[in-house]
């Protein structure tokens, strides 16, 4: 079994995230690899480094694939030091070389974008990271909007799946007054067919052949008017609290891709009731239908600074993800 841990920008001795080079690498290093203050690390390693770039690897010992994420935090993209450019790999031999590149350069030339800040300066940004030895979810309030950055293994339903890992973020770079595009983890699947250009990729399709594939999360209770929009924003969802029961409810974050259910995201849950306006970091103890002792923490992705496309998913911050 793995151990679930939560890290917050409000913790004592927590790393400070700013619009500066290597700031995101420092945060990931402190949360995933070394720890800080009284916070113990999630159990990842950092096998390769370079100038303002690093590769992080999940734990083989904990049952992980050993997948890597390469983080270029040099400010070399359109957004400068506001954003880091990230890809996933199955194996790496140095900080610039790897196999099973996800997504490929042909699919997304600029890489997955993890936005740290709306400004290039020392202004601290709020963040929450939930992780275990195999997977992590990071939500950042960048000063203009919100973004969810995530990577790691999935719980695949495909027997013998050789490539059960993913990466999620924005799908386009942006300058100071913009927010890029791509819902990442909060795009509601319109159908079971493969979504496109949403900033969420699996390393390979269920056959194990070909290139990385885009995927999305289906909301199992919705109206036609809400299909294809952001999860948790209210459109097409049950009122909160739900009529009759007076409860908020969640279901596992299943993975829709290639007209099938590939599996589910480990430790991640989708709200059935509307979560419009709920702040990132909001916690719900012992939610209905989850294991006793569970505590869900809100991860928020807003595609605009005005609050439009207000998407939410929730990570269990206490019980093991298996």
Q: Quick: pLDDT tens for 52-67.
A: 999 999 999 999 999 9
- Average pLDDT, integer, range 14-35: 98
Position 194 pLDDT exceeds 70: no
- Average pLDDT, integer, range 187-196: 69
Q: How confident is the prediction for the chain on average, in pLDDT? A: 91
Q: How far is CA 11 from the centre of its chain?
A: 21
Rg, the chain, Cα only: 18
Q: Which of 22-26, 210-214, 224-228, 295-299 has the lowest mean pLDDT?
A: 224-228
Q: Is-cis flag, bond preceding 241, omega within 30?
A: yes
Position 25 pLDDT exceeds 90: yes
pLDDT computed for residue 235 by the predictor? 63
pLDDT computed for residue 305 by the predictor? 53
> Computed from CA positions of residues 301, 134, 218, 276, in that sequence, does the dihedral angle turn out positive or negative?
negative
Q: Is-cis flag, bond preceding 103, omega within 30?
A: yes
pLDDT computed for residue 145 by the predictor? 82
Position 8 pLDDT exceeds 80: yes
Position 192 pLDDT exceeds 80: no
- Average pLDDT, integer, range 80-88: 96
Output the pTM of the full model: 0.95
pLDDT computed for residue 197 by the predictor? 63
pLDDT band of 234, cuts 50, 70, 90 = low
* Three-class SS state of 53: strand
pLDDT computed for residue 309 by the predictor? 72
Q: Which of 70-74, 227-231, 253-257 has the lowest mean pLDDT?
A: 227-231
* Burial grade of 225 (CB within 10 A; 0-12, 13-18, 19 or more): exposed
pLDDT computed for residue 72 by the predictor? 98
Question: Of residues 180 and 74, which shows the higher confidence score?
Answer: 74
**β-bridge mates for residue 314, sequence order:** 269, 298
Q: Is-cis flag, bond preceding 190, omega within 30?
A: no
Q: Which of 107-116, 121-130, 312-321 has the lowest mean pLDDT?
A: 107-116
pLDDT computed for residue 223 by the predictor? 55
Question: Of residues 182 and 307, which shows the higher confidence score?
Answer: 182
Position 147 pLDDT exceeds 80: yes
pLDDT computed for residue 230 by the predictor? 79
pLDDT band of 195, cuts 50, 70, 90 = low
């Amino acid at each position: 079994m793995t151990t679930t841990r939560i890290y917050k920008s409000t913790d004592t001795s927590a790393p400070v995230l700013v619009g500066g080079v290597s700031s995101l690498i420092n945060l990931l290093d402190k949360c995933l690899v070394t720890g800080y203050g009284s916070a113990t690390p999630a159990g990842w390693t950092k096998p390769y480094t370079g100038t303002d770039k690093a590769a992080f690897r999940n734990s083989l010992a904990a049952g992980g694939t050993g997948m890597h994420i390469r983080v270029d935090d040099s400010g070399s993209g359109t957004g400068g030091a506001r954003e880091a450019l990230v890809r996933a790999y199955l194996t790496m031999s140095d900080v610039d070389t790897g196999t099973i590149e996800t997504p490929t350069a042909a699919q997304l030339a600029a890489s997955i974008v993890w936005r740290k800040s709306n400004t290039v300066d020392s202004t601290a940004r709020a963040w929450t990271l939930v992780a275990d030895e195999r997977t992590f979810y990071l939500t950042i309030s960048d000063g203009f909007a919100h973004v969810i950055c995530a990577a790691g293994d999935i719980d695949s339903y495909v027997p013998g799946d050789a490539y059960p890992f993913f990466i999620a973020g924005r799908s386009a770079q942006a300058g100071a007054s913009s927010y890029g595009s791509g819902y990442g983890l909060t795009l509601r699947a319109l159908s079971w067919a493969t979504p496109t250009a949403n900033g969420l990729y699996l390393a390979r399709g269920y056959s194990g052949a070909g290139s990385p594939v885009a995927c999305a999360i289906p909301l199992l209770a919705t109206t036609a008017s809400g299909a294809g929009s952001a999860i948790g924003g209210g459109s097409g969802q049950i009122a909160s609290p739900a009529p009759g029961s007076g409860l908020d409810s969640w279901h596992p974050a299943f993975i829709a891709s290639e007209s099938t259910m590939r599996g589910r995201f480990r430790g991640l849950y989708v709200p059935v009731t509307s979560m419009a306006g709920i702040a990132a970091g909001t916690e719900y103890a012992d939610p209905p239908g989850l294991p006793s002792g569970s505590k869900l923490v809100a991860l928020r992705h807003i595609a605009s600074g005005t609050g439009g496309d207000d998407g939410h998913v929730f990570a269990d911050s206490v019980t093991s993800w298996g």
